[in-house]
Structure 1
Amino acid sequence: MENAYLVGLSRQVALARELDVVANNIANLNTSGYKANGAIFEEFISQTARGDGASRGDTRVSFVRDRATWIDLSQGPMERTGNPLDVALDKRGFLAVQTPRGERFTRNGGFQINAQGQLVTTEGFQVLGEAGPITFQPGDKDISISREGLITVREGNEARTESQRGKLRVVDFDNPGRLQKDGNGTFLAPQGVTPITPEPDKRAAVLQGVIEKSNVRGVVEMTRMIEVTRTYTQVATILQQQADMRRSAIEKLAEVPA
């Protein structure tokens, strides 16, 4: 296969990968706490590819290589819901939750109370406080969450007694860019990445009755999808033209008398 085909194929593979990333971002446009992904590509210089003619000797050919994806951790827009169980973090930070796969971290604060009285995510993961899972009593009323994450309720028949039910565990990371998405809006801290408790002056404020929306920019992603699709089509057209020229040349050579 000629180098032109290999270069074109590498470009198409990279464009297909980028299209997957863009499509996933668009699919999560309305997913609370979702963080957009971006694709990283690099030039790969082949040292072993040969030129089209044997007399030209070895030549360097430039390919496209899919290197990695990155996560845009910028804060998404805030939406006030009025639901006392909805929380959002202003500035950096993550909420700790307990999943069947272990401890994970999220920016999606759309919480609810399950049948056991535990504060959980929409997927049923336990929301962790600084002393463990947060559990409410059957008679708890008027749930209040302070900017520091302290959860208080009023209990009793006349709901006059104020009690604490825990404090949300808000963590941060020295290098949050190394976090890995683990599905359901959660992040996994790989080996060597340890969550830390921010100092009071650097701690993210907890906003009650507010949800952080996806930080995906819909117009930008739709524009990028159109650009990627058009570029893919252009590369396919060029490769088809190369194939047509090659076939035409072979047909003309076949017509030459022996």
Structure 2
Amino acid sequence: MENAQLVALSRQSNLWNQLDVVANNMANINTVGFKSQNLHFSEYLMPVADASAFLPQDREISYTDMFTTRTDFEHGSIKLTGNEFDLALNSDGFFAVQMPDGTEAYTRSGAFALDSTGQLISASGYPVMTDAGPITFTVEDGRVEIAKDGTIATEQGIRGKMKVVDFEDARTLEKIGDTLFAGENPIPAAQVRMVQGAVEGSNVYGVTEVTRLIEVTRAYDATSKVVKDLDELRRQAIGTLGKFQA
């Protein structure tokens, strides 16, 4: 009974973590550039467990173990905004922003704007990077036009090119919050297709997440019933043994 309860509790604990992931996905269904996450589970085999005296010595106990949280980098839908500094990537790659410590972080969220000094910043307030570093616009620049390949043009001429990077394996990226990712060894993105005056929406699908929520809830309830039944079985066993001893 102890082993059965431990197996059930390991499953219940991971279902709770999965519920947190689903809830976070649903909370960000309207967040620009958000990428949904999923939990992946693995089986953990324990060769020695409590109460093994009632089991064959070579029998292993199988537990549920949370393997990892993975990010789904599928592209979200492109939504037109009309804001000349909003940018959406209709291709692979990530925009680069400069963090306070001077390092770079990467995002698919192109909801950009100008701060009080005219510097292009992300929704989180970090400078957006071009191939030449952060960029600042002045009144003399007039209207800013950004081509599909990221080339920035104003009335003063070409001002640079938006920095768009990619990674050999996006699964190595670490999510650091605010739709930002940390990664190593970025490479220039190939075949960049940028849309000015638009943003990429979240890739969370409400129907899919609701279905997952129902599945997780049902599994959690079923596991809770198993734990409750095992507790009742133990109570009855103790009561029966107590009668024999009396």
TMscore range, shorter length: over 0.9
Q: TM-score, normalised by structure 1?
A: 0.90
> Would the aligned equivalents of 1:51 and 1:57 in 2 still touch at CA under 8 Å?
no
Q: Which residue of 2 aligns with 1:111?
A: 112
Q: CA deviation at 1:53?
A: 4.0
Residue 166 (1) aligns with residue 154 (2): no
Q: CA deviation at 1:57?
A: 3.4
SS in 1 for 2:136: coil
Residue 88 (1) aligns with residue 88 (2): yes
Q: Distance in 2 between matches of 1:45 and 1:55?
A: 15
Structure 2 letter corresponding to 1:118? Q
Q: Distance in 1 between matches of 2:7 and 2:195?
A: 51
Q: Distance in 2 between matches of 1:37 and 1:16?
A: 15
Alignment of 1:1-258 (within 5 A): 2-51=2-51, 53-54=53-54, 56-57=56-57, 59-101=59-101, 102-154=103-155, 162-189=156-183, 193-198=184-189, 202-256=190-244, 258=246
Gaps of 5+ in 1: 155-161
What is the aligned residue count?
A: 245
Q: TM-score, normalised by structure 2?
A: 0.94
Q: CA deviation at 1:145?
A: 0.6
Q: CA deviation at 1:140?
A: 2.8
Q: Distance in 1 between matches of 2:41 and 2:125?
A: 37
Q: CA deviation at 1:42?
A: 0.3
Q: Distance in 2 between matches of 1:215 and 1:54?
A: 50
> Would the aligned equivalents of 1:50 and 1:57 in 2 still touch at CA under 8 Å?
no
Residues 44-66 of structure 1, C-alpha deviation per residue, up to 9 Å, x if partnerless? 11111255544743531100001
Q: Distance in 1 between matches of 2:55 and 2:46?
A: 19
Q: Distance in 2 between matches of 1:137 and 1:57?
A: 77
Q: CA deviation at 1:88?
A: 0.6
Q: CA RMSD in A?
A: 1.6
Q: CA deviation at 1:194?
A: 0.6
Paired-residue identity, %: 41
> Would the aligned equivalents of 1:43 and 1:64 in 2 still touch at CA under 8 Å?
yes
Gaps of 5+ in 2: none
Structure 2 letter corresponding to 1:143? V
> Would the aligned equivalents of 1:135 and 1:165 in 2 still touch at CA under 8 Å?
no
Q: Distance in 1 between matches of 2:216 and 2:56?
A: 35
Q: Distance in 1 between matches of 2:241 and 2:197?
A: 76
Residues 53-92 of structure 1, C-alpha deviation per residue, up to 9 Å, x if partnerless? 4474353110000110111111101111111111011110
